[in-house]
Amino acid sequence: MTLAMTLGMRIGVRRTLWMMYGELIGVAIVATASAMGVASVMKNYPEVFQVLKYFGALYLIYMGWQMWSAEAKLADVDGVESLVKRRTLATQGFITAIANPKGWVFMVSLLPPFINVNKPIAIQMVGLITVITITELCCMLAYASGGKGLRVFLGQGENIKWMNRIAGLLMLAIAIWLVLG
């Protein structure tokens, strides 16, 4: 999201769409691989799945704490001006999605409650990946479109601190839901 916001501010939303294209392909691959692995573990090793579920919840609690206690400043992406070619933008988005370990862990932690091993996995996968990619696209468009205004807003007072705390609480809520669900 920071990449989308920064690119939106510097090169405009239309050019940032190329980065989003690569990012969505990467997110779809991460979600597919995560869901396939989770479904396989759920079906063949339910005890291992429970352990993975609790580790995923612990990771989300850790991430929530990190966000809650994060330094109140906006990140910046170095060398954004050099990311102007379509292929370069798409590659940057793809690599950002594929190489992000948080994305992998988040998908492995998030997807299990939505997978029913007694129903066709392929249909569930298409539905999950459609929802995930549409949500990702909407968020990236919002960040890229509102980049300048958001940067001004978050740069004032303690707004970034409160946004981080709200995001941290949401991560904690998802972790509790995972443990109880």
Q: Domain extents for the chain?
A: 2-51+73-155
> How many residues does the structure list for the chain?
181
CA pair distance 154, 72, nearest whole angstrom: 9
CA pair distance 86, 41, nearest whole angstrom: 38
Mean pLDDT in the chain? 78
Share of the chain above pLDDT 90, in %: 12
pTM: 0.63
Alpha-carbon Rg of the chain, whole angstroms?
18
**136 CB contacts (<8 Å, ≥6 apart)?**
23, 24, 27
Q: CB burial class (10 A; 0-12, 13-18, 19+) of residue 83? A: buried
- Residue 39 pLDDT level (bands cut at 50, 70, 90): low
Of residues 133 and 39, the one with the higher pLDDT is 133
Mean pLDDT (whole number) for 35-41: 71
* Residue 79 pLDDT exceeds 60: no
Mean pLDDT (whole number) for 13-41: 86
Q: Return the pLDDT at 73.
A: 60
177 close to 64: Cβ distance less than 8 angstroms: no
